[in-house]
Amino acid sequence: MKTLLLSTLLITASIGVFAQSEISYHGKKITENGAIPATQLATKMADKQEMPAKVEGTVESVCKVKGCWMKVKTGDGQTMRVTFKDYGFFVPKDIVGKTVVVEGTAETTTTPVADLRHFAQDAGKKKEEIEKITEPERALTFVADGVIVKK
């Protein structure tokens, strides 16, 4: 009986260890094949308003409320806001610093001040910081159909 109990305990512990090394999928199940580094996306976009893309990068921040957006580092201290198609899925809120692969549409957009303030509030910024946002922001953004989070 002790052997059975010990075996069950070891198997359960092993499953927990292996589960931590796996990747997680959110939204449409995608693969990593063909992903370009986030640092190359702006160059690939050139003067296009939007284009389909698959990008790999490091998460800089995540919506602290629901995981309804994230920012991915694009190089030179810049980030790209990633939202999720039709608000149909979210990502874990604890993935800052993790590598992600996103597939969907890259866009050059102008974000209104009201939205920027909302995003700052979601990110947990202080009221004083939020009030300093007074200009719309033109930036590279991404609407993802699917996300892979590497653990």
Nearest-angstrom CA–CA distance, 133 and 41 = 26
> What pLDDT, in 10s, does the model give residues 51-73?
999 999 999 999 988 999 999 99
Phi, psi of 15 (to 5 degrees): -60, -40
Q: Six-digit token pair at 109?
A: 């957009």
Phi, psi of 92 (to 5 degrees): -60, 150
pLDDT score for 9: 43
Q: pTM of the prediction?
A: 0.74
> What pLDDT, in 10s, does the model give residues 6-23?
444 445 444 444 445 589
Nearest-angstrom CA–CA distance, 27 and 145 = 6
CA dist 57 → 13, 39, 70, 126 (Å) = 31, 8, 11, 27
Q: Is the dihedral of CA 129, 133, 139, 141 positive or negative?
A: positive
pLDDT at 5 > cutoff 50: no
The residue among 33, 25, 151 whose CA lies nearest residue 98 is: 151
Domains of the chain: 23-149 (2.40.50)
pLDDT score for 4: 44
Helices (H), 97-140: 113-122, 127-131
Residues 6+ apart with CB under 8 A from 106: 41, 45, 50, 51, 52, 53, 55, 80, 140, 141, 142
